[in-house]
Chain A
Amino acid sequence: MSTDALFDVSGPRGKRRIRIATGVSLLAIAVLIGLAVRQFAANDMFAADEWQMFGQWPIINFLLTGVGETLLVTVVAAAIAFPLGALIALGRLSHNGILRWTGRLYVELFRAVPLLLLLYVFLFGLPRLGLTLPVFWQLVVPIVATNAAVLAEIFRAGVLALDRGQPEAAYSLGMTYWQAMRLVAIPQALRQLAPALVSQLIRLLKDSTLGYVVSYVELLHQSQVLGEYYHTVLPTYLVAAAIYVAINVSLSRVANWLEHRQSRRVRTVGPQ
């Protein structure tokens, strides 16, 4: 890690200072944890009946349904938003002025509107104009609309960052436009964009929690129903938060692994 260069390998005095700092910070962390535990214990949060419900199959099943719906919303929204974002990026890069300006207008507008406001438009605004979508699409369409704008910018940056010499070299080898794109330009762009695309996917998954607002049966809404029914609001939301962290951490693990694998493959193939 390059930040290690910030300080020398410590001498005896530096080592002692680090040991003291380690002790002090461990103590501080212990005090923080102790305070939290005391607050939980003082309100009977460690009582078995607050937590044992999460060991019962019907409850687990109820939460798993929520997880499944969260993943469904994520997959469907991503399956529409990713190609749409790529299309808008192509529009912004095209030589046609109208396409370029439409793309620009879309991106600037939908990157600047909070998702919840957009959701309210679909929830309260459009029904007044006689257009009522099913709940699933009331949630998915606003998510797609905002995410496509962000994804368009990611794709555009990827194309612009591409080394122009690469497609030119491909042309000089006699490749057609599509061959050059498919074999040379797109693989490189995707490799560079993979981390940004996965973190956008994580953001999209987080957006699915707005099902809480439209009462769609995804994980957060399920937790709300469960917590209010059994009067275990805090434990249920804590469990939900842990599930979200677990899903998102595994997603970013996949991204890191992809990045690592691809960079290794490039190194072994390269001319060095």
Chain B
Amino acid sequence: MNALAGHLGQLGHGLLLTLLMAVIGLVGSLALGVLLAVFRISPVPPLRALGTAYVTVFRNIPLLVLLVLFVFGLPDIGLLFPLFATVTAAMVLYWAAFVCEVVRAGVRAVPRGQIEAARALGLGFGLVLREVVLPQALRSMVQPLANIVIGLTLSTALAAAVGVNELTGQAQFFTIQYDIPIPVFIVCTAVYVVITLTTGVIAGRIERRLAILR
């Protein structure tokens, strides 16, 4: 237990890496995912096909396979980047496929009549999207996006399997180095639970604030 107290800084460093990976991963996958969703609902056939193919491939590859492919495979074709960047890039590519599906489902959840009514009023594609579709779609996307945030945060633990010393990696290190597995696992679990619960609470609050009372 003393070893744990003496090395809290190291554990904190692991937590920092976890959070950093989660935040960069989230921002990146949101950007890429929205772009892919636009591709998939655009009227341009090659872009649609590209979006569909991307989602099919990246949703069905296990994240760990993608991680080992990027970390140990890509150097074979001369693509060697810092470990943290490689791992984060793999996470962005993986979670973007899920973000794309959430965004697309959100847009599809807007009743067809709403869009037809807006078009009947003479609004063009951009205005229909901005004034009618997105405000409604965004509301239905809050909960699924919160699930993605939680899933992404938990999946950063997989980075430990390819050698990133984030929170889970530190837990493994402490176990081997100082032989104090149980307290370390309890602390790490508590941290993950706090992150997950906080995300859930924030999402619930956002959803309630955005809700339209009818």
Q: Please give the residue numbers on chain A whose beta carbons come within 8 Å of chain B beta carbons, in ascending order.
A: 1-3, 5-8, 10, 18, 21-22, 25-26, 29, 39-40, 42-43, 45, 108-109, 111-117, 120-121, 124-125, 128-129, 202, 205-207, 209-210, 212-213, 220, 224, 227, 233-234, 237-238, 240-241, 244-245, 248-249, 252
State in angstroms the CA–CA spacing of A244 and B58 once bound together.
11
* Those of B154-172 within 8 Å (CB) of chain A: 154-158, 160-161, 168, 171-172
> Distance in Å from the Cβ of A161 to the closest Cβ of chain B?
14
Q: Give the contacting residue for A22; candidates B45, B63, B115, B156; CB below 8 A.
A: B45
Q: Is B82 an interface residue (CB 8 A)?
A: no
Is B66 close to A, CB under 8 A?
Answer: yes
Give chain A's interface secondary structure class: helix
B12 contacts the other chain (Cβ, under 8 Å)? no
B79 at the binding interface (Cβ < 8 Å): yes
Across-interface contacts of B2 in A (CB, < 8 A): none
Q: Is the CB of A3 within 8 A of B44?
A: no
Find out whether the CB atom of A209 lies under 8 angstroms from the CB atom of B64: yes
| Of B3-11, B24-32, B174-182, B203-211, the one with at least 4 CB within 8 A of chain A | B174-182
User: Nearest Cβ distance between residue A209 and chain B, in whole angstroms?
Assistant: 4
Other contacts beyond A112-B192, A124-B172: 16, CB < 8 A: A2-B108, A3-B104, A22-B45, A45-B76, A109-B189, A112-B195, A112-B197, A113-B193, A114-B154, A114-B168, A115-B157, A116-B168, A117-B168, A125-B185, A205-B62, A245-B56
Q: Is the CB of B182 within 8 A of A8?
A: no
In the assembled complex, the Cα of A78 lies from the Cα of B10 at a distance in Å of 37
Contact between A249 and B181, CB atoms less than 8 A apart = no
- The chain B residue with its CB closest to the CB of A128 is B181
Cβ distance B116 to chain A, nearest Cβ, rounded Å: 6
- Establish whether residues A42 and B175, one from each chain, have CB atoms under 8 Å apart when the complex forms: no
Residues of B within 8 A of A7 (CB): 43, 125
B100: shortest Cβ distance to chain A, in Å?
Answer: 13
Q: Which residues from chain B contact A238 at a C-beta distance below 8 Å?
A: 69, 73
Q: Do B69 and A125 have beta carbons less than 8 Å apart?
A: no
Closest residue to A245 on the B side, CB-wise? B60
- Chain B residues closer than 8 Å to A39, beta-carbon distance: 77-79
State whether A6 touches B125 (Cβ < 8 A): yes
Contact A117 B73 (CB under 8 A): no
Find chain B residues with CB under 8 A from A206 CB.
Answer: 62-64
Q: Shortest beta-carbon distance, B1 to chain A, in Å?
A: 14
Identify the interface centre among B50, B69, B74: most chain A CB within 10 Å of its CB: B69
Q: Is A29 a contact partner of B192 (Cβ separation < 8 A)?
A: no
| B60 engages A244 (CB within 8 Å) | yes
Q: How far is the CA of A209 from the CA of B67 in the complex (A)?
A: 11
Chain A residues positioned under 8 Å from B45 (CB to CB): 22
Q: What are 13 A-B residue pairs whose CB atoms fall within 8 Å in the complex?
A: A3-B41, A6-B115, A6-B128, A21-B44, A112-B196, A114-B154, A120-B185, A125-B182, A206-B63, A212-B68, A237-B68, A241-B66, A245-B56
What A residues does B116 contact at CB under 8 A?
5
- Select which of B44, B46, B61, B77 is within 8 A of A43 by beta carbon: B77
In the complex, are the beta carbons of A237 and B193 less than 8 A apart? Answer: no
- What CA separation (Å) do A124 and B178 show in the bound complex? 12
Distance (Å) between the CB of B117 and the closest chain A CB? 11
On whether the beta carbons of A117 and B192 are closer than 8 Å, the reply is: yes
Nearest Cβ distance between residue A267 and chain B, in whole angstroms? Answer: 20
